[in-house]
Amino acid sequence: MDPSILIVVLVFMATVGATFSGFKTVNLIVKGDTWQLWAILTGVLIFVAALGFLLPFMF
């Protein structure tokens, strides 16, 4: 199996996850829950770090 296919799948899954967490973040800001907001922001930070790690392998 070509490793680039795996990277594309991982980036796609991470993008979908980040999109859903973005919608959830907006929903939580409207409701006023903050502990879940911090959990989601931590998840987004991990996503950005993973993307930064995978980016050199994509090109």
Q: What is the pLDDT of residues 38-58, one digit of tens each?
A: 777 787 888 888 878 877 776
Distance CA 26, CA 3 (A): 35
In the Cβ-directed half-sphere of 51, how many Cα atoms lie within 13 Å? 13
- What's the whole-model pTM score? 0.43
Give residue 35's domain range.
Answer: 3-58
Give the per-residue pLDDT at 18.
76
The tens digit of pLDDT for each residue in 1-34 reads 667 777 778 878 877 877 777 777 777 777 777 7
Sorted by sequence, the CB contacts under 8 Å of residue 36 that are 6+ apart come out as 24, 28
**What distance in Å separates the CA atoms of residue 57 and residue 14, rounded to the nearest whole number?**
16
pLDDT score recorded for residue 59: 65
d(CA 50, CA 59): 15
Give the count of domains, the chain: 1
